[in-house]
Amino acid sequence: MQTGYYSSAAGMVTQFNRLETIANNLANVNSAGFKEDNLVVGDFMRLYKESRDELPNENHSVAGAKYINRAMTRAPQIVDSYTDFSVGNMQKTGNQLDFALSKEGLFFAVKTPQGVRLTRDGSFSMNDEGKLVTKQGYEVLPSNYFETQGSIAFNVQDSVIEADKNGQLYKNIPNTATMAADAKLFIVQPDNLAMLKKEGDNLYVYDELEQSKSVDESGGVIQGFVEKSNVNAVKMMTQMIETNRLVGMYQKAMDSQMNDMNRDAIEKIARKA
């Protein structure tokens, strides 16, 4: 059995998966609040270091050498994936219904047909009913949503809407210059960001959301701004070029295994026959 062929094929599949992640990052380079995804590829040295201490073989023994030779035939594979939740650049819009979160680990809570979800995309607007919604039409939730099942809504007369750094909203009293406190944005800070799962539409699933309380003093809400994607387009393009080259290298290795080595073996067998 040609182990080199199968190792090359597995390596190519790994690079295809990596290429898919890079392409998704690049496709969302202009998506507000998007967070970059990354993959961890396991290599021989990683596998060796993780398991050598568990083996009874000495590094320089015959048994240890046999283990190393066996381990070197292992194909690279995806061993882990993670999301980079670092804060992206802030872009000023001047829109009073645009909000950005300037601190890492904070999210807006929104209501979707699948349930309550989290998002970093604060490009909000008002729908026909006067409710504060996302670009997809999902309701933006108030801090007391799980107690009242309410929503954040404004009247036509509410021409001025302001928010403080903690997400407390204020609206003008009609025909006056006085601002009155209204609802407060539901700001969530998960205990473990690794528990968040991407669902699409820049949304995250958080299983412990119903047990979470809104952060009283987040200090991270900025009105009139949106957070841009934290994807570095130059870095992603460099990784895409590197990945394409690796795919080509694995393809050449597979061709060598199937064509050159097999042809050589057939010719030797023919000569002996």
Largest CA distance in the chain: 103
pLDDT below 70 — which residues of the chain? 1-4, 43-75, 260-262, 264-265, 270, 272-273
| The pLDDT of residue 66 | 60
* Tokens 């050498």 sit on residue: 65
- Name the phi and psi angles at 69, rounded to 5: -65, -40
Which residues on adjacent β-strands are paired with residue 133? 125, 139
CA 129 to chain centre: 33
Give pTM, 2 decimals. Answer: 0.79
pLDDT of residue 254: 79
**Domain segments of the chain: what residues?**
3-84+234-272, 90-227
**Distance between alpha carbon 163 and the CA centroid of its chain, in Å?**
28
Packing angle, helices 44-51 and 62-71, rounded to 10: 140
Helix (H, G, I), strand (E, B) or coil at 184: strand
The single-letter DSSP state of residue 138 is P
The candidate with the shortest Cα–Cα distance to 97, out of 128, 133, 129, is 133
**Running DSSP on this structure, what letter comes out for residue 87?**
-
Which among 127, 73, 62 has a CA at the least distance from the CA of 97? 127
Q: What's the confidence (pLDDT) of residue 60?
A: 54
Q: Map 17-79 to HEC letters.
A: HHHHHHHHHHHCCCCCCCCCEEEEEECHHHHHHHHHHHCCCCCCCHHHHHHHHHHCCCCCEEE
pLDDT digits (tens, 9 = 90+) for 119-157: 999 999 999 899 999 999 999 999 999 999 999 998 877
